[in-house]
Amino acid sequence: MKIVIVTGASSGIGEEFVRQLDESFSRIDEIWMIARSEKKMEAIAETLTNKVRILHLDLEQESDRRELQHTFNTQKPNICMLVNCAGYGLMGPFDQLPLEEQMGMIELNCKALTAVTYLALPFMVRNGRIIQLASSAAFVPQMNFAVYAATKSYVLSFSRALQEEVRSRGIFITAVCPGPVETPFFHRAEHYGETLQSKEKFSVSPTQVVKDALNASKKRRTVSVSSLPMKAFHAACKLIPHDFMLEIVQHLYKKEGKQEK
């Protein structure tokens, strides 16, 4: 059974991956969609051409990750592609955000992504591809987005290192690092604190992010960065000392009156 797996498939970038993969893959047996919102995934599945299996799982829960492991062990799928999209962010000062939700970010963005990758690897076919949703927040520490940016640095670092380990098996990993994307992500992210106004100027569509990511993955690139401003930001983060960049962001927050310090 040849399959494609997308986590975070009920919304935003994950939903867009499902749609674009459905259009481009004609010789797969099933697309496996993973998220918590079963009804949303059912509605998306009705519009697709390929056969879909909906796995209604909360990846923050160890028990649900064990259920996925059991499904892999019993179904023994040949995984052509794994896309790890499930994730969330929270903006605001670290000491003012609820601890439980911040730990949840680490659980989902880091631990669940690592576990799903680990569980899927034995079932990946030669020339199989893994796409990991990191973020441009991975490039430099980000005040008022501290835990989220740290989780995404983890994803980027983990993906690049793992690529070298699995290259000889013919498995290719791409870490996707977009700037702001027009998805429901910000509904939750801005619940406690606002982002900088500049976000609006740099927003891109999920369609573009996924198109660029699939293209990068096809070309076996380890990192995909959508849009010219984010490519420039990526280059700047390699050249400019991070302390200086943190000072600039601090200044922008003060200028927009979004921070007391």
Ligand X SMILES: NC(=O)c1ccc[n+]([C@@H]2O[C@H](COP(=O)([O-])OP(=O)(O)OC[C@H]3O[C@@H](n4cnc5c(N)ncnc54)[C@H](OP(=O)(O)O)[C@@H]3O)[C@@H](O)[C@H]2O)c1
State the minimum distance, in angstroms, from the CB of residue 76 to ligand X. 23
- Nearer to ligand X (CB atom), residue 11 or residue 50: 11
Indicate the residue among 84 and 163 with the shorter CB distance to ligand X. 84
Shortest distance, position 128 Cβ to ligand X, whole Å: 21
C-alpha 35/C-alpha 18 separation (Å) is: 12
Nearest 5°: the CA angle 113, 115, 118 is: 110
What's the number of CA atoms in the CB half-sphere (13 Å) around residue 67? 11
Residue pointed to by tokens 């990758």: 117
Q: Which of helix, strand or coil describes residue 223?
A: strand
Would you say 9 or 162 has its CB closer to ligand X? Answer: 9
145: nearest Cα among 182, 111, 179: 179
Bridge-partner residues for 176, per DSSP?
133, 224
2 vs 56 by CB, closer to ligand X: 56
Contact at 8 Å (CB) between 177 and 223? yes
Binding site for ligand X (CB under 6 A): 8-14, 35-37, 58-60, 85-89, 108, 133, 135, 178, 180-181, 183-185
Tell the smallest beta-carbon distance from residue 169 to ligand X (Å).
25
Written as six digits, the tokens of 69 are: 């492991």
Shorter beta-carbon distance to ligand X: residue 30 or 182: 182
In whole angstroms, the minimum distance from the beta carbon of 27 to ligand X comes to: 26
Q: How far is the CB of 50 from ligand X (least distance, A)?
A: 18
